[in-house]
Each structure stands twice: as structure tokens, then as C-alpha cells.
Amino acid sequence: MTTWQSSAAAAIAARFHRVRRCTLELCAGLSAEDLQLQSMPDASPGKWHLAHTSWFFEQFVLGRDPAYRPRDPAWHYLFNSYYQSVGPMHARPQRGLLSRPSLDEVHDYRRRIDDAVGELLGRDDDAGLLELVELGLQHEQQHQELLLTDIKHAFWCNPLQPAYRAPIAAADAKAVPLRFVAGREGIVEIGHRGEGFAFDNETPRHRTLLQPHALANRLVTNAEYLAFVREGGYREPGLWLSDGWATVQREGWRHPLYWQEDLASEFTLAGVRALDPHEPVCHLSYYEAEAFAHWAGARLPTEAEWESAAQGVAIDGNLQDARRFQPRAAAVGDTGLQQLYGDAWEWTASPYINYPGFRPLPGSLGEYNGKFMCGQWVLRGGSCATPRDHIRASYRNFFPPQARWQFAGLRLGQDR
């Protein structure tokens, strides 16, 4: 190895162990029973997240060596998620039925994978290997957020509504007044610039045209959304997209997920607490975000408008690293755009489709993002459960429009 190559491999190795350790730390207060729960088909047990993220390194990093032998070939079927090109997988809605292997066996599996990848990075500095390990780490950080959102949903389903963490200290902060900030217009460039990591769906960088518009200086608050609820927002079909209204009727939605029926409290990872009127509203579907924007006489921003505003803005916000795991009010005194990163993912008006000239990763890893470019909507900016070194201006998250269990809220936009 050259000095530069060895330093790059050492940096990736250090990051590998740091990210893998963080996943375990997020599970530290959870029992084996907690980590076995699957509360709905869209969620997965914590134990499965622990195993699947290890399987990813085994399949795509260690599996590059034809001589490598997996820990247990049957686990390839159990812990594959959706990579059809590498083989069949256990049905997603039935992951909670996998009482075996045990949690101890999964932890042992993680240790074996950690040791094998660490040993590989100690002797191989191939650029392709380092890129694959970084992809695996970014993938694991996505699952860290899913671990938190999935256990929150599971605990909410428990009549005792237990807490994942200690109570959150009450904040005295009050949200700044809502105002609109004019955005760039004309031809702008969006997409990853080429420095550092990016998923394939963030590429290629390309030009797009922005019409005159403005973005709200902060996220919509609980108090603002409560006004929508109290004024009959969930009873007025004219505010909703057709599919959204059908979903509201079918599911019986009357308020955001995790709000209590008294409309004065909500379930959080710290248990039930009073609804803070100044905190950003979250756990909204795209349908709810779009209906609120309609009611407010505004609209959702496009992802190009959002990214154009976020370019060059420091990634500094209420992210996973703060260990708050709950949105917080926008700071008083800041006159620019706030909360671009952290607090709550921001639904955009943009469908999740390919950028012009998009090319998925070669081979099986091409299934990571591209095959989901239908029927999903883009979210931007990260949340209070997103790691700081995982998010960036070009990051494109995506979920189906009815999804509510993620930390998702909204920022208003308007035409000028």
C-alpha cells in the first residue's frame, strides 16, 4: 500500500467500526423481546435490522472473494431484503416470525462479519473495496433510522406505550414567525457534485429550470397543524387528493400518527408527553402534507427548489447525533431558512423518478434504488433520527404517499 492508500483504508476501517458500534448502541436498552417485534408489514424487527446490515457486508463485500464461505447459507434467504438477482428471500411481512436464529446468534454473526471486514481492510486497499464498504456503511445508517422508527411504532402499539429513552427535557424555545424567503429562479444545477459519497439516485448532476418561488423559513409546527385539524381538515374532501381522501376514509385518520385523541399529547420515543406547539409536526403522510399545504393557501416545494436552497448550507441541525430523537422548535433570531437539515424529513411535490441520464450501479447493487422509481415521493433534509454524516443537499429519500411512521413533516412553498 502507498501511504495515501493505507490512510484511506485506515479511515474507512475506523468509520466501519464506529458506524457498526453506533447501531449496537441504539439497541442497548432494548430486550430480546423488543428486538423481535414487527408491528406492521412496513416495519422490521430490530434483530432483523442487525442481521440484514451484516448480511449486506457478507454478500457484497466479503462475497467478492470466491473462497469466502458464509456463516450459514440458510441465513442468506432469511436476511436478504429485496435483491432478487442474488436469490430468494423470506417474505417481508413475516420477519417477526423469525425467532431463530436467536439474538445471541445474530450478535455473534455481527462480530464475525466485523472481524472479517476489519481484517480485509487491513490488507486490501483496493478502491473498489473501499467504495463498497462505504456503501454498506451508508446502508447501515439508513437502517439505524429505521431501527428507531420501527421500535417507536412497535412501542406505540403496546397498550402500556413504553418509552425507548429517558424523558426529554421541556424546551422553552418558541418557533420563529412564519415567513417566505425567495428562492433562486432560472436555470440551476442539482444532483451530486462528485465529491464524496452519493447514492446512484443522486446522479447525474444536471440542469433544471426553476420558476419564481419562495420557501417558508421553517417547518410547519404542531400548533399550525392543530389548527388544520380543529378546523375540519380531515373532514373536508376538497382539500385532499383523491387517493388521499380515500386513504383517510379507509384508515379513519383524524390527526397525525402518534397524536393522542385529546389532541394535547403525543407518543414519542420518550413516551407520552404534552404536545409542544412550537415543535415541527411530524409523522405525516404525503397526503396529509399536501392537504395541509392546500388548506394553508400554499403548496409543497419541489425537490429542485429545496436542493437549490440547501446547496452550500452547513449540515447543522437536530440530527441523530444529538440523541434527542424528537423534532425541536426553530431558533429565534435566525432570519434565513432554518431546519433544512434534521428535525423532520420534508415531503416535496416531486415524484421519485430518475434524473436525466441516470445509470444504476452495475450488477445486483443496481437494485438498491432504481427499481423503486414508481409510485413513491421524494423527501429531503433528514430528521432527528438521521446521522449527521449520512445526509447532504443532494440526498433523495423516498416513500409511498401513505407512509406515516417515519419522522416526516413539511415546509411550505409558494409561487411568486
- pLDDT confidence of residue 331: 80
Binned at pLDDT 50, 70 and 90, residue 124 comes out as confident
Beta 408-409 vs 345-351: how paired, if at all?
A: parallel
Q: Which three-class secondary structure state does DSSP give residue 8?
A: helix
N residues, the chain: 416
The percent of residues in the chain predicted with pLDDT above 90, rounded, is: 91
Question: Worst-scoring range by mean pLDDT, 26-40, 57-71, 222-236?
Answer: 57-71
This prediction's pTM: 0.96
Question: Left, alpha or beta for 381 (phi > 0: left; psi -120 to 50: alpha)?
Answer: left
- In order of their start, the domains of the chain are 3-157 (1.20.120), 180-415 (3.90.1580.10)
Specify burial of residue 319 (Cβ count, 10 A radius: 0-12, 13-18, 19+): buried
Q: Is there a contact between 90 and 78 (Cβ–Cβ < 8 Å)? A: yes
- pLDDT confidence of residue 280: 98
Q: Is there a contact between 348 and 380 (Cβ–Cβ < 8 Å)? A: yes
Binned at pLDDT 50, 70 and 90, residue 4 comes out as very low
Select from 360, 371, 320 the least CA-distant residue to 343.
Answer: 320
Whether 134 has a pLDDT exceeding 50, the answer reads: yes
Most confident range (mean pLDDT) of 163-172, 300-309, 367-376 is 300-309
**Which residues neighbour 142 within 8 Å (Cβ) at sequence distance 6 or greater?**
390
Select from 54, 345, 341, 380 the least CA-distant residue to 201.
Answer: 380
- pLDDT confidence of residue 5: 54
Q: Copy the grid coordinates of residue 377.
A: 415521493
Where b means 16+ CB within 10 Å and e means fewer, 271-295 reads bebebbbbbbbbbbbbbbbbbbbbb
Residue found by looking up cell 462475497 in the block? 63
Reported as a single tens digit per residue, the pLDDT across 156-174 is: 999 999 999 998 777 777 8
Reported as a single tens digit per residue, the pLDDT across 184-213 is: 999 999 999 998 999 999 999 999 999 999
Q: Quick one: average pLDDT of 263-276?
A: 97
- pLDDT confidence of residue 322: 95
Q: Copy the grid coordinates of residue 296.
A: 394553508
Reported as a single tens digit per residue, the pLDDT across 48-105 is: 999 999 999 999 999 999 999 998 999 999 999 999 999 999 999 999 999 999 999 9
- pLDDT confidence of residue 334: 67
Rg of the Cα trace of the chain? 22
Q: Which long-range contacts (CB under 8 A, 24 or more apart) does 113-117 make?
A: 113/54, 113/57, 113/58, 113/62, 113/71, 114/16, 114/17, 114/20, 116/58, 116/62, 117/16, 117/57, 117/61, 117/62
- pLDDT confidence of residue 71: 85
Mean pLDDT of the chain: 95
**HEC readout, 283-320:** CCCHHHHHHHHHHCCCECCCHHHHHHHHCCCCCCCECH
Cα–Cα separations (whole angstroms), residue 163 to 73, 153, 193, 271, 406: 37, 11, 41, 4, 17
Reported as a single tens digit per residue, the pLDDT across 245-257 is: 999 999 999 999 9
Binned at pLDDT 50, 70 and 90, residue 2 comes out as low
Sign of CA dihedral 275, 276, 282, 286: positive
First to last CA, the chain: 56
Whether 1 has a pLDDT exceeding 80, the answer reads: no
